[in-house]
Structure 1
Amino acid sequence: MIPWLTIAIALPAIGAVLVWALPRTGAGGRAPAASAAAVASEGGGGTATAVRAPAATASGAASAENAKRITLGFSLATLAVLVAMSLRFDTSNAGSLQFVEEYPWIPRFGVHFAVGVDGIALTLILMSAVLVPLVVLAAWREHDDREDGGRGYFALILALEAMMIGVFAATDVFLFYVFFEAMLIPVYFMIGRYGRGDERARAAVKFLLYSLAGGLVMLVAVIGVFVHGGTFLWADLVGEDGALAALDPSTARWLFLGFFIAFAIKAPMWPVHTWLPQAAGASRPGTAVLLVGVLDKVGTYGMLRYCMELFPAAVSWFVWPVVVLSLVSIVYGAILAIGQTDMMRLVAYTSISHFGFITLGIFAMTAQAQTGAALYMVNHGFATGALFLVVGLLVARRGSSRIEDFGGVQNAAPKLAGVFLVTGLAGLALPGLAPFVSEFLVFVGVYAFSPAPALIAVIGVVLAALYILWMYQRTMTGPTADSVSGFKDLSAREAWAVGPLLALIIAFGLYPQPLLDAIEPAAERTVVATVDSAEEGGAE
Structure 2
Amino acid sequence: MNAVLIAVLVLPALGAVALALWPGRAERAAGWFAVALSGAVFTLTLVLLNGRRDDGTWHEVDVAWIPSLDVRLHLGVDGISWPLVALTGLTFLLCALYSLRHTPEPGNPRKLLALLSILECGVFGVFMALDAVVFFVFFEVTLLPMFAVIAVWGGAGRRAAARQFLLYTLFGSVLLLVGVVAAMISRGSADLLEWAAAPAEWSGRGQIAVFVVLLIAFAVKSPLWPLHSWLPDAHTEAPTVGSVVLAAVLLKMGTYGLVRVALPAAPEGARALAPVLGALAVAAIVVAGLVCLASTELKRLIAYSSVGHMGFVLLGIATLSVPGIQAALFGNIAHGVLTGLLFFLVGAVKDRYGTGELDRLGGIATVSPLLAGVLGFAAVGSLGLPGLAGFWGEAFAVVAAVDRGGFFTGLGVVAALGAALAAAYFLRLLRRTTVGPPGSAVVADARGVDAFEAAAWAPLVLLALVFGLAPDLLLSLTVAPVEALVAVVNP
TM-score, normalising length: structure 2: 0.96
Counterpart residue number, 2:303: 348
Matched, 1:441 2:401: no
Deviation at 1:485, TM superposition (A): 8.6
Q: Give matches, 1:381-530, under 5 Å.
A: 381-450=336-405, 451-481=409-439, 483-484=442-443, 487-530=446-489
Check the 8 A contact 1:409/1:484 in 2, yes or no: no
In the TM superposition, what is the alpha-carbon distance from 1:486 to its structure 2 partner?
5.7
Partner amino acid, structure 2, of 1:15: G
Looking at structure 2, the residues matched to 222 and 457 of structure 1 have their Cα atoms a distance apart, in angstroms, of 31
The amino acid that maps onto 2:386 is P
**Matched letter for residue 32 of structure 2:** R
1:152 paired to 2:115? no
Distance 1:323 1:144 in 2: 39
Deviations 1:90-134 (A, max 9, x none): 2x22xx222111111111111111101220100111111111111
CA contact (8 A) 2:313 2:393 kept: no
**In structure 2, what is the Cα distance between the partners aligned to 1:303 and 1:506?**
28
**Equivalent residue number for residue 537 of structure 1:** none
One-letter identity of the residue aligned with 2:15: G
Equivalenced residues, count: 487
In structure 2, how many angstroms separate the alpha carbons of the residues matched to 1:299 and 1:454?
Answer: 22
Q: Helix, strand or coil: the match of 2:62?
A: strand
The aligned residue for residue 122 of structure 1 is 82
Q: Give the aligned partner of residue 6 of structure 2.
A: 6
**CA 1:312/1:400 → structure 2, altered by over 3 Å: closer, same or farther?**
same
2:248 to 290, 293, 302: 293
Does the alignment pair 1:191 with 2:150?
Answer: yes
2:324 aligns with: 369
| Unaligned segments of structure 2, at least 5 residues | none
Distance 2:389 2:300 in 1: 23
Q: Deviations over 1:346-379 (max 9, x none)?
A: 1000000011100000011221111111100011
1:132 aligns with 2:92: yes
Report the CA distance between 1:227 and its aligned residue.
2.2
Residue 202 of structure 1: aligned partner: 160
Q: When the two structures are superposed, what TM-score results if normalisation uses the length of structure 1?
A: 0.88
Identify the residue that residue 44 of structure 2 maps to in structure 1.
Answer: 81
Cα deviation, residue 253, structure 1: 1.3
Q: 1:151 to 1:491 in 2, by over 3 A?
A: same
Deviation at 1:4, TM superposition (A): 2.0
Q: How far, CA to CA, are the matches of 1:392 and 1:471 in structure 2?
A: 15
**Cα root mean square deviation, aligned:** 1.4
Give CA-to-partner distance per residue, 1:125-175, whole Å, 9 cap, x none. Answer: 1111111111122232333753x5321111111111111111000001001
Unaligned runs of 5+ in 1: 25-59, 533-540
The structure having more radius of gyration, on CA atoms, is: 1
The Cα offsets for residues 467-495 of structure 1, whole Å up to 9 and x where unpaired, read as: 11111111111112461396222112211
AA at the equivalent of 1:115: L
> Any idea what SS the aligned residue of 1:171 has?
coil
Where has structure 1 moved over 4 Å in runs of 4 or more? Answer: none
| Contact 2:210 2:269 (C-alpha < 8 Å) held by counterparts | no
- 1:238 paired with 2:193, answer no
The residue type equivalent to 1:10 in the other structure is V
Contact 2:402–2:412 at 8 Å: present in 1 too? yes
Secondary structure (helix, strand or coil) at the match of 1:100 reads strand
Q: In the alignment, what sits opposite 1:307?
A: 262
Letter of the structure 1 residue corresponding to residue 123 of structure 2? M
1:102 to 56, 62, 76: 62
CA distance in 1 between counterparts of 2:172 and 2:68 reads: 27
- Give 2:181's aligned residue: 223
Q: Work out whether residues 412 and 485 of structure 1, in 8 Å CA contact, stay in contact via their aligned partners in 2.
A: no
Tell whether the 8 Å contact from 2:221 to 2:254 is kept in structure 1 after alignment.
yes
Distance in structure 2 (CA, Å) of the matches to 1:493 and 1:6? 30
Say if 1:17 and 1:155, in contact at 8 Å, map to a contact too.
yes
TM-aligned CA distance change 1:193 to 1:145, over 3 Å: closer
Question: Does structure 2 conserve the Cα–Cα contact (< 8 Å) formed by 1:383 and 1:505?
Answer: yes
How far the C-alpha of 1:513 sits from its partner, in A, is 1.4
SS in 1 for 2:256: helix
Could you say which residue in structure 2 is the equivalent of 1:176?
135
| Matched AA of 2:228 | H
Query: SS where residue 193 of structure 1 aligns?
Result: helix
Contact 1:326–1:360, Cα closer than 8 Å, also in 2 = yes
State the one-letter code of the partner of 1:200: R
Kept after mapping to 1: 8 A contact 2:20/2:110? yes
Equivalent of 1:263 in 205, 210, 218: 218
Equivalents in 2 of 1:488, 1:461: separation in Å? 35
The answer as to whether partners of 1:203 and 1:279 remain within 8 angstroms in 2 is yes
Identity %: 31
Partner of 1:328: 283
Query: Structure 1 CA distance, aligned partners of 2:248 and 2:91?
Result: 8
